[in-house]
Amino acid sequence: MRGHLAWTAARSLAYDAAVPLGPECRPLAGCAGTTLAAPLVARTPLPPWDIAAMDGFAVAGDGPWEAVGEVLAGAPPGRPLVPGTAVAVGTGAGVPAGTSAVLQVERAEVRGGVLHGQVAPGQHLRRAGEECAAGQELLPAGTPVTAAVLGLAAGCGHDSLLVRPRPRVVALVTGDELLEEGLPRDGRVRDALGPQLDLLVTAHGGELVAAARLRDDPDLLRTSIETAAAGVVVVTGASSVGSADHLRPVLVGLGAALLVDGVDCRPGHPQLLARLPDGRHVVGLPGNPLAAVVAAATLLGPLLAGCTGRPVRTGTALLGEPLEAGRGTRLVPVRRDGLHVHSVPAAGAGMLLGTAVADALAVVPPGRDLRAGDEVEVLPLG
């Protein structure tokens, strides 16, 4: 594939081509799916004070203990305990100063106001700051804001976060042969890419704000790209060199810079990345379903990651069976099984079943066959 860019070089170029979006300060409720624009720093220790990890009794020293009261979650811990005394506590309740352990309620017995049971020092007791200290950096900038990140931010005292928003994406699905509903007929087939695009864009960190299906008409494609209100425009099915593939000449006519014009990989080699004169980017994906998924992982994912300052998603696994190399990089749908990945059936460029049962793409470098047990780079799907 003369003139096509190496797969690793294409991924790096797409990442470097992105201009990071400006940070925004948002309340926690508006941060899901965004990316931290600054490190997450704890505003308070976690836990903020000594707390009970179980329902039971906060005890001081060795037993038996005199039961002298109760502390519920959300109430002040009360007066310090002296050795030989205990108070009933609920899970999450702050325990009084002097507490040496929490005796689990199932292992406790109270007779005549005296508590009996066995507990090791420090058992079922979370000490203040054992998770983190106030002022400690917990997560770096570039971390995706997940549900767990939001919980951590709230727990350590944040009401808002400085984040980079999800990049806005408009998708244009081209092809006279595509049907939106019903069974294939009269030479026309169902559009299998359009229904994927929202989840595909989301998986790569973007926000699909609009999508349209277009006839194979260069003027319509040009107008649609010009008027797309997003920093990234994804065009499917027009990136090759056939008579109906209008994307390349349309971009040239718009004065765009073709940053990537084909990638040395299989499937998905007829993909492209261009920068319009106004700074927006256009990603061209092949029309075949698996080829489009591969191209999205090659160019769209790194571009969107660069817009937010996230690292490019990648990982490693062990191969469950050999994979043959090609002249260019091969991207093979695989399914994880513990530490190993296994190739899946129906994984041709135009097939749908392979990507539906796969959860990653294995990266086979050019010219180097991989054996069972070899470590392989994998790109997560979804």
The whole-angstrom separation of Cα 305 and Cα 298 is: 12
Kindly report, residue by residue over 22-34, the tens digit of the pLDDT: 999 999 999 999 9
> Which of 284, 281, 299 has its CA nearest to residue 12?
299
Rounded mean pLDDT, 5-24: 97
List the alpha helices (DSSP H) in 254-375. Answer: 289-295, 301-308, 353-357
What pLDDT sits at residue 58?
97
Return the pLDDT at 181. 87
Say how far apart CA 381 and CA 355 lie, in whole Å. Answer: 8
272-298 mean pLDDT: 96
The 8-class DSSP code of residue 76 comes to: -
pLDDT score of 242: 76
Mean residue pLDDT of the chain comes to 94
pLDDT score recorded for residue 196: 93
d(CA 314, CA 378): 6
Among positive and negative, which fits the CA dihedral 54, 56, 58, 61? Answer: negative
Over residues 236-268, the pLDDT tens digits come to 987 877 777 789 999 999 999 999 999 999 999
The per-residue pLDDT for range 223-234, each reduced to its tens digit, is 999 999 999 999
- Measured between alpha carbons, how far is 164 from 145 in angstroms, rounded to an integer? 10
Q: Cα–Cα distances in Å, from 234 out to 82, 89, 162, 244?
A: 68, 57, 28, 17
Q: What's the average model confidence in pLDDT over 306-328?
A: 95
Give the model's pLDDT for residue 3: 58
Residue 364 has pLDDT above 60, yes or no: yes
Contact 246, 254 (CB under 8 A): no
Q: What is the reported pLDDT for 112? A: 92
Length of the chain in residues, anyone?
A: 382
* Coil, strand or helix at 204: coil
CA distances from 58 to 71, 77, 116, 171 (A): 9, 10, 12, 59
Q: Is the pLDDT of residue 219 over 90?
A: yes
What is the model's pLDDT at position 104? 96
Of 152 and 244, the structure prediction assigns the larger pLDDT to 152
**Contact of 116 with 107, CB cutoff 8 Å:** no
Q: Which residues, at least 6 apart from 275, have a Cβ–Cβ distance to it below 8 Å?
A: 17, 256, 257, 259, 281, 282
Helix (H/G/I), strand (E/B), else coil: 155: helix
User: For 16-30, 151-165, 184-198, 208-222, which range has the lowest pLDDT when averaged over its residues?
Assistant: 184-198
Domains, in order of start, for the chain = 5-21+165-308 (3.40.980.10), 33-45+132-164 (3.90.105), 51-126 (2.170.190.11), 315-380 (2.40.340.10)
Task: Tell me which residue has tokens 């469950």.
Answer: 320
User: Confidence class of residue 382 from pLDDT cuts 50, 70 and 90?
Assistant: confident
pLDDT at 1: 42
Of 335, 295, 331, the residue nearest 10 (C-alpha): 295
Question: Rounded CA gap, 276 and 234, in Å?
Answer: 13
What are the tens digits of pLDDT across the range 321-340? 999 999 999 999 999 999 99
What's the CA angle centered on 382, arms 234 and 246, to 5 degrees?
20
User: For residues 167 and 245, which has the higher predicted lDDT (pLDDT)?
Assistant: 167
Q: Span 77-93, mean pLDDT?
A: 94
Low-confidence winner among 70-74, 82-86, 363-367 (lowest mean pLDDT): 70-74
Q: Would you place residue 136 in the very low, low, confident or very high pLDDT band (cuts 50, 70, 90)? A: very high
